[in-house]
Amino acid sequence: MAQQRTENGRRRLPPEIRTTQILDAALAEFSERGFASTRIDDIAARAGLSKGGVYTHFRSKDAVLEALLGLLLNASVLDERALTAGEVTVERVIDLLAGELYTWCTREPFVATFRLLMAESVRLPGLVEQWREQAESAYVIAVGKMVRKGVMQGHLRPGAATKNPLLLIAPITQMCVRRAIRSEPLSRRELTSHRAAYRQLLRELLEPRCAPDCVNASYGAK
């Protein structure tokens, strides 16, 4: 099938691809210039489009920002059904939190959008609360279901962390904040060291100190 082209000879791409190009360009421009100093022309130039091409997909610069933050708010690597399937062991929780989720939340696109959220929180005060409700709460709920099952199976030690799973996720949020407020990126060595310490912390918080029957009895008694 021949590619569709616009009147000026440009290849016509599907709307979802153009939208992604615009959002990628906007994130780069917002990160370099700041939201207030970025113009639609700047986003269009970086995306290889005309200003009208951007307006075809977004009615304003604010709409572009909202779409970018929407990706942060709605992005999730957690499948609740998969998290609670089978045996929930300490290693499985560590692999999720210090592995998959940690990697996702410390990737540069996520951190750049998180930085943008922080920078624009005064101008758009509802965004931080929206992120807390939609993203952070979703992680807490999903991880909470997982660790509760692990406790009932006798694989995890009951305690403050399993009853308040936000405590288990807090080191990831702390690393996101550290990366967002630093002018220079963290080195690979720093990230590796922090991840290793996080894995050890999770192990110390979650490993049972007695037999499975003892864990189940103590959890049920509280």
Predicted confidence (pLDDT) per residue in 108-142, tens digit: 778 888 888 777 777 777 766 776 676 777 888 88
pLDDT digits (tens, 9 = 90+) for 1-52: 344 445 445 566 677 788 989 999 998 898 888 888 899 999 999 999 999 9
pLDDT of residue 221: 47
Q: Give all strands (DSSP E) within the chain, no chain letters.
A: none
197-202: long-range pairs with CB below 8 Å, 24+: 198/97, 198/98, 198/102, 198/171, 198/172, 199/94, 199/98, 201/171, 202/90, 202/93, 202/94, 202/97, 202/98, 202/168
Structure tokens at 88: 């929930």
The structure tokens 């692990």 sit at 150
Q: Is residue 113 part of a domain?
A: yes
In 3-state terms the chain splits into helix, strand, coil percentages (rounded to 5) of 70, 0, 30
Average pLDDT along the chain: 82
Confidence check: pLDDT of 202 > 90: yes
How many Cα atoms within 13 Å fall on the side-chain side of residue 109? 11
The confidence score (pLDDT) of residue 74 equals 63
**Residue 151 pLDDT > 70:** yes
Tokens describing residue 85:
């399937």
- 79 or 77: whose pLDDT is higher? 79
**Domain extent for 56:** 15-70
Instruction: Give pLDDT tens digits for 87-103.
Output: 999 999 999 999 988 98
CATH number at residue 200: 1.10.357
Residue with tokens 């660790």, as numbered in its chain: 147
What is the value of pTM for the model shown? 0.71
Identify whether residues 118 and 166 lie together within a single domain.
yes
CATH number of the structural domain spanning residue 53? 1.10.10.60
